[in-house]
Amino acid sequence: MEARDRYGWDLDPADSKGVLRGRTKLGQLVVWLIPAEPLRAVAEEELGKGLSHPGLYVLLDDETDRAYVGESSNLRSRLGQHLDHAPKELGRFDRALILNDGRAAVHSRFNDSTLREALEQATIKLLLEGGTHVLVNQQKRMPELSVTQQTLFENLRAELGHVLYELELIENRPKPTIDSAVVRPQDAAGRFRETTITDIKGYEGKHDGQPVYFRKGSEKPQGLQVTIRVGEPFGKSVVRGEGFLCMNRGRCYLIPNLAVKDWLGAKLEQQTVDIFLDVQAEVLKTAGIAPLSVGQFGGSKSSRA
């Protein structure tokens, strides 16, 4: 389904103060695009009244085509601070874009600070990769998310891309994101219909007497990072070509360690080797050698009954 059909979009004409108000009619986001001059008064009127409204914001300097992304548990207060002292990376701004779900903190999905930080990083990434303004932010580490947070994050990230495109702040409509949510080891085991994984304790299990090592990977620009330490049990299994690596993200992948060993070859003579799962391309990557296709090791999209 196209993003426009999935989320809808409605943008009101600018009012007498130059304020644009928009919303995803079938989604969750409400947006304001406000000139700097009336920003304090508009924020006080629409995001004030004694209540805190959490969300994201983008400050736009149209003279130099630069932008700054931020998040706050209280948008009215934070934007007031920026009017008094603009972020040093930006220096000045002409307009502020506010993005939230239109709800005060007690009811807002944006009241989750970890989720809000993840969405801030997603917005930074969208603007870095195709924004109409040069972003002055430095991208930070993506915070760890629970399964519930990850599901909501994936939905809101896609909706954010839709809104930024409709507002002409990014040049291309983002492609649909591939599900990379973390799956519990017990649930990941159910993704492999022809394989029985038993004795799951923590992040290890067994298949036909062979060890299975569950690894969710850490989010990095190259993909989901797993570090193989050859002196530890998982690393020793890779060196011997025994057992399996189960990447318990999204579709999930049950990869024979023998395939990993053959792929890495002489790299396993090192003490540590970092490998990265590219979920979009369904490959494992590492520096200096060609990627390893892992699509054939992928599970189903849902657990078996």
**Per residue in 278-294, pLDDT tens?**
988 899 999 999 999 99
Domain ranges of the chain: 3-166, 185-297
Burial track 9-31 (b if 16+ CB lie within 10 A, e otherwise): beeeeeeeeebbbbbbeebbbbb
pLDDT tens by residue, 69-102: 999 999 999 999 999 999 999 999 999 999 999 9
For the full predicted model, state whether its pTM sits above 0.85. no
Q: What is the pLDDT of residue 301?
A: 63
- Closest C-alpha among 51, 4, 1, 8 to residue 30: 8
- Contacts for 146 with CB less than 8 Å, ≥ 6 apart: none
Residue 262 contacts residue 290 (beta carbons within 8 Å): no
C-alpha 68 chain-centroid distance: 18
Q: Rounded distance, CA 7 to CA 26, Å? A: 5
pLDDT tens by residue, 202-218: 999 999 999 999 999 99
pLDDT tens by residue, 18-45: 999 999 998 999 999 999 999 999 999 9
- Contacts for 6 with CB less than 8 Å, ≥ 6 apart: 26, 27, 162
Question: Span 248-272, mean pLDDT?
Answer: 96
Residue 300 contacts residue 193 (beta carbons within 8 Å): yes
Identity at 271, one-letter amino acid code? Q
Residue 150 contacts residue 214 (beta carbons within 8 Å): no
